Homo-oligomer: A and B are copies of this chain.
Amino acid sequence: MTREFGKHFLVEFIGCPPDGLKHVDDVRSSFLDAAEKSRAGIIESHFHQFEPYGVSGVILIRWSHFAVHTWPDQGYAAFDVFTCGEMDPEVAIEELRRSFRAGRVEMEVRSRGF
């Protein structure tokens, strides 16, 4: 890759207590808090409640995004940060790890560009 436009963090939160992943208000609040603490300039955010539980959410940042999908039954949440470098993704990841009380975190970082 000769030109990197962004870094993409693919994060798996494993072994989370199901209750913290069920409801849109909890997930939104953790997520917005993590975005703020990582100094991500939020443009807009959208969260969706699935019935009976489970949440998907996205935050648009300047040329970047956060995304989350939760599977409460499995104690699992998939989290993405695509960033062009004006924020600190690892702060967001640590904040979410704490909020979701994940027992284990797996992370992969990919360069985006060509």
| A101 adjacent to chain B (CB < 8 Å) | no
| Contact in complex: A67, B43 (CB < 8 Å) | no
| Contact in complex: A76, B114 (CB < 8 Å) | yes
30 pairs, A vs B, C-beta closer than 8 Å = A3-B76, A5-B69, A5-B74, A5-B76, A5-B78, A6-B69, A8-B80, A14-B114, A44-B48, A46-B46, A46-B60, A48-B60, A50-B62, A50-B63, A56-B60, A56-B65, A58-B58, A58-B65, A63-B71, A64-B69, A65-B67, A65-B69, A67-B82, A69-B82, A76-B114, A78-B112, A80-B80, A104-B114, A106-B114, A110-B110
**CA of A42 to CA of B112 in the docked complex: distance in angstroms?**
25
Q: Which residue of B lies closest to A12 (CB)?
A: B114
| Contact in complex: A56, B63 (CB < 8 Å) | yes
Complex contacts, A104 vs chain B, CB 8 Å = 114
Q: Which residue of B lies closest to A58 (CB)?
A: B58
